[in-house]
Amino acid sequence: MCHIQEIPENGADIAHLNYLHKSAPPITKGSDIIKTDLSDPQPAVQHVWDGKWEVKSEEDKHCGVMHLNQYMTIWGYRVPLTSSKLIAEQHGPGIVHMIFDFGMWGKGVVFQTVTPEEALLQRVRFRIFSNIPWFFVKFFYDCGGNAI
Ligand SMILES: [Fe+2]
């Protein structure tokens, strides 16, 4: 329930990840932002995010590309095998093509579409294709892997 423009604006705002998506499960209780505990500025288990946006190419100036890196820490120490890389291409407000890499866990593609159904009502669909074990994908998806 939002304007279609708010969804890509959220994705463009990389800075919010280290605030609203810092806490890692089970602290966040999933991707529900309402249940995210922001009272502890240094939770024991954290996601650490870093990324940038750039224009895809001279020929494709209408496409933005985000390069996003993430890893987890416990009490400030980096946790091995938790690194992930994401490359996301934003094609207008309604299409996002993402390629993610969880290292030894596998790789995958996410195709996101946003379809307006009413003025402030969007239907967002995610199609995930991956060689990562299904339970691992479901865990990250349920825990905010969609990063909305
Ligand atoms: Fe977010």
51 CA from centroid of ligand 1 (Å) = 14
113 CA from centroid of ligand 1 (Å) = 17
21 CA from centroid of ligand 1 (Å) = 6
Which pTM was predicted?
0.83
Nearest in space to 48 (alpha carbons), one of 26, 11, 27, 79:
79
pLDDT tens string 99-130: 999 999 899 999 999 999 999 999 999 998 99
The pLDDT score that the predictor gives to residue 21 is 83
DSSP H helical ranges for 78-146 = 134-140
d(CA 148, CA 145): 8
The confidence band for 40, taking pLDDT boundaries of 50, 70 and 90, is confident
d(CA 25, CA 64): 30
Cβ contacts of residue 19 below 8 Å, gap of 6+?
A: 38
Nearest in space to 98 (alpha carbons), one of 129, 71, 54, 123:
129
143 CA from centroid of ligand 1 (Å) = 12
DSSP one-letter code for 42: S
**Token pair of 67 as six digits:** 């390069």
At 110, which amino acid appears? V
The residue assigned the tokens 């095998």 is 81
The pLDDT score that the predictor gives to residue 27 is 52
